[in-house]
Amino acid sequence: MSQLETYPYYRASISSGIIFSFFEKIIRSHPLIYFLSRSLVRFTNIFEQDFDGIRILNLNDKVNIIDIGASDGIASKFFNKNLNIGSIICYEPNNYYVSILKKINIKNLIVKPFAIGNKNSYKTIFFPRYNFFFKNFDIISYTHYDRKLVNKAVLSDFKFRRNISIIKKKIFVKKIQKINKKIDLIKIDTNGFELSVVKGLIHIIKKDKPALIIEYNRDVKIIDQLLKKFSYKGYYFLHNTKKFSLKKKRYSENTYYLQKNHLI
């Protein structure tokens, strides 16, 4: 079993379904190559294949979306291209990504420069930094709340690790009390903090019953049980058949949590 399958919740995907694994392995071997490649991805239409499932969901004519862990906006741009957008609210605590999000030309894209959780607090995060000729390159897509998992990812992926250090930083986490619009779709990709996000948004989930796309994580079974109370079922989008399946695949980057009406 590959490291990707063993620790899928902290891996930063370049879209393994589209970029052949051979080239992805090369890209990930050197931190500078990965940094530059990850920067270029946001100017393309490359994205995770299982997100194609949004195209067959039964959603409102105008879709209001919450994008949690918005990073550089690659998911928001995918949504904008494939759905009739009402608004997209992006939550992203990293200042570098926030500056990129604010430059994206999407109508009614709202940027919130903080993380979401089940209470107001400060949280410690860790990410790799590569130093090249006295210039620092922060590999933010490898950010995690557990330093050990960041170390494992670096050891697993990068062959050239001599100038990599692990940076420690605090971010502000906020509990959202109210959103003044009905939410139709929520995407959560927070590198291990997904359960806290779901708990923090449970009042919105209970009220609006949106479709959810949640990155694979260690707490998937707990999230399954929590959302089951509100009549959600977990699905996997099978790209080869263009259908949703309740049967769990050996590995899937994301789980769709859906109500019956989302599949009509």
Give the position of tokens 């989302």: 262
Cβ pair 127, 170 in contact under 8 A? no
pTM over 0.75, yes/no:
yes
Signed CA dihedral, 24, 28, 30, 34: sign only = positive
Measured CA to CA, the distance from residue 207 to residue 230 in angstroms comes to: 10
Cβ pair 183, 210 in contact under 8 A? yes
Residue 108 DSSP SS3: coil
Q: Could you tell me the residue range of the domain that residue 144 belongs to? A: 3-263
Number of independent structural domains in the chain: 1
Measured CA to CA, the distance from residue 64 to residue 214 in angstroms comes to: 17
In sequence order, what DSSP letters do the residues of 39-70 get, joined into one string? HHHTTS----GGGGGGGGS---SSEEEEEET-
* CATH code of the domain covering residue 84: 3.40.50.150
Measured CA to CA, the distance from residue 78 to residue 155 in angstroms comes to: 31
What's the token pair of residue 243? 């259908």
Residue 89 DSSP SS3: strand
Q: What is the pLDDT along the chain (264 residues), one digit of tens a residue?
A: 222 333 333 344 444 444 445 566 667 777 887 877 777 777 766 667 888 899 999 999 999 999 999 999 999 999 999 999 999 999 999 999 999 999 999 999 999 999 999 999 999 999 999 998 889 989 888 898 899 999 998 998 888 888 999 999 999 999 998 898 999 999 999 988 999 999 999 999 999 999 999 998 889 899 999 999 999 999 999 888 888 998 665 566 899 999 999 997
Q: What is the DSSP letter of 9?
A: T
